[in-house]
Amino acid sequence: MTTIHVDPQIQNLQSAPNSEEPSASHLGQKGIIISLAVNDRDISEHLVVTFAKSGAVACPEMLEETSTSRLLYELELKGQSVLEPSLMGIATEEGQARRVFVTPCPGDNFRDYAVWVGMVTETVSNLKVRKVALYPCPGALSDENSFELTSQLVRALIEANAADEVALIVGRYNYNKLLNMALELKSELKTANNSIHVIH
């Protein structure tokens, strides 16, 4: 599987087939889904959480965008000038609402990661959205650190019972590495009270 890039044409891509579906054997357990998202349709009902390197794109420009994919592409390409966490609503060309939570890039250290994960987890819990999509824009941190931060956030969201579905947006990241991370999280976080499904 090749890496899928975030660009203005991403919404025309087809999702990879689901590899795992919740089954009747999991009845009585809380079902949690970790998925890999390759287009706007995959995250149409999700709160998108992102950050990018420092740059030119400000909140008013973000609000004018009509595609989550194009917004992420612009943030990745040009960087953001967001100084405080900002929850924004954008409307697609079809008039559908999308929510995007843009935060400043956390400092590249354990303490700032922990503060960022706590802040995002609390925000998601307070919003009661239940479906969250994650995309730390490449270039803000190294890929390795972006994966580590994403992994920490997924753990926190599930352990805090703040989300039922977490989508990992593929974008410019390696698909197989994201899939491996999702499978590792499934193995680590599965308990007698929950059933975690990885869909890709």
Q: What is the pLDDT of residues 82-129, one digit of tens each?
A: 999 999 998 887 878 899 999 999 999 999 999 999 999 999 999 999
Domain ranges of the chain: 17-199
**H helices of the chain, where?**
59-63, 68-78, 110-127, 143-159, 175-189
Give the pLDDT confidence score for residue 28 in this predicted structure.
57
Is the pLDDT at 31 greater than 80? The verdict is yes
CATH of 17-199, one of 3.30.1490, 2.40.10, 3.30.110, 3.40.220: 3.40.220
The pLDDT assigned to 86 comes to 95
Q: Which residues of 57-90 are buried (b: 16+ CB within 10 A; e: fewer)?
A: beeeebeebebbbbbbbbbbbebbebeeebebeb
pLDDT digits (tens, 9 = 90+) for 40-97: 999 999 999 999 999 999 999 999 999 999 999 999 999 999 999 999 998 887 878 8
